[in-house]
Copies of this chain bind each other. A is one copy, B any other.
């Protein structure tokens, strides 16, 4: 019998409790023993709830109970999630989480604490929801060399962009629809401004290259400025606009990371990743192009990924230890200037004049759109100096 505690009885936390209950038989068969949720920690009142007897308000109860070997941190936000996780690891308990904010901001501290205390800190659910991506990177690709990762890592923005492209909706209407369907939060900033994608690519980049960059140093652009005209022009070129989170090791050894809406061509496997789905495309030296696709969010799919981490820990409690993953905080100087990235740019300017050497896509309603040759953003900015630029979107 393995006993665990769930910290935070919100969306994912209650999904995990539900899944552990519903899949009890499969879990017992897989683990070779029963898995019991001994405590649910939440500061709110759950009077009359069927699980009321398990609910406690004080995290110290968990910390001081030697029977609890696994803590599922399902709180969200940086604090107290980080503090509770660190305390649990120091108390010799393994921690699993879906909290990308904590992993991106404090991953190196928590992974080090896990190693020092011979326990595990696992976070499969922090990137790509149900998609197994952390474990394949940690295990299947650890002896390969990762050249580049491009990911659609946020389901809400992908849903909005899909609706704009295929149903001709405006950004505001698509955002409202995503709220009505329960995808977007009341405050959608973390999604639509690219912050959520940025945290996730910072984590994947850390796994790929052993160094984590602070999110405030990573060039991050959301999708608020994408218009129907942009989406129409993209379709005209057999492209879709996707919010792409990207990391790549450049030839000078620096790491390029950026989050931006990008024109994604029809022959990319990411082109057909639509609606709330996520897709992660990894280019590796030996393995070539690999894509992982699935539900990037949702209560039960995300809880499923948390459960996979719990299963890994339980299986290794009896036989040894999980090989530790570690990363370091990177120096700012190790970050490649994303404006130097070579690619083509889609631009739209006021009027019917364009710079020389570009391919015109459409000219109507007093605006002309075109695509540049392969260049970098500084050159593009220079090229547009004498134009009124309405839109500028790079190609993937």
Contacts and interface: CB of A to CB of B under 8 A. Distances in A.
Contacts of A27: 143
Contacts of A26: 143-145
B298 A288 contact: yes
A284 B301 CA distance: 9
Interface in A285-303: 285-295, 298, 300-301, 303
A11 interface: no
Contacts of A323: 315-316, 319
B291 A293 contact: yes
18 contacts: A19-B286, A26-B143, A30-B142, A130-B290, A131-B290, A132-B132, A132-B139, A135-B139, A142-B311, A143-B310, A143-B311, A287-B301, A290-B294, A291-B291, A291-B293, A292-B293, A319-B323, A320-B320
Interface core residue of A30, A31, A132, A292 (most chain B CB under 10 Å): A132
Listed from nearest, the 3 A-B pairs whose CB atoms lie closest are A320-B320, A286-B304, A132-B140
A321 interface: yes
Contact of A293 (B271, B290, B308, B319): B290
Nearest to A27: B143
A196 interface: no
Contact of A143 (B23, B294, B295, B298): B23
Contact of A124 (B30, B140, B315, B319): B140
Contact of A286 (B124, B140, B284, B301): B301
Contacts of A143: 23, 26-27, 30-31, 307-308, 310-311
Given A30-B142, A311-B143, A290 B320 contact: no
A323 B315 CA distance: 7
Contacts of A292: 290-293
Contact of A288 (B145, B290, B294): B294
Contacts of A319: 320-321, 323
A117 to B, nearest CB: 15
Contacts of A286: 19, 23, 130, 300-301, 303-304, 307
A141 interface: yes
A303 to B, nearest CB: 7
Interface residues of A, number: 51
Given A319-B320, A323-B319, A139 B312 contact: yes
Contacts of A31: 143
A130 B301 contact: no
A357 to B, nearest CB: 32
A304 B284 contact: yes
A305 B143 CA distance: 10
Contacts of A300: 286, 288
Contacts of A269: 272, 293
A213 B301 CA distance: 30
Contacts of A312: 139
Contacts of A295: 287-290
Interface in A71-106: none
Interface core residue of A31, A142, A312 (most chain B CB under 10 Å): A142
Nearest to A274: B267
A277 to B, nearest CB: 8
Contacts of A355: none
Interface in A304-344: 304-305, 307-308, 310-312, 315-316, 319-321, 323
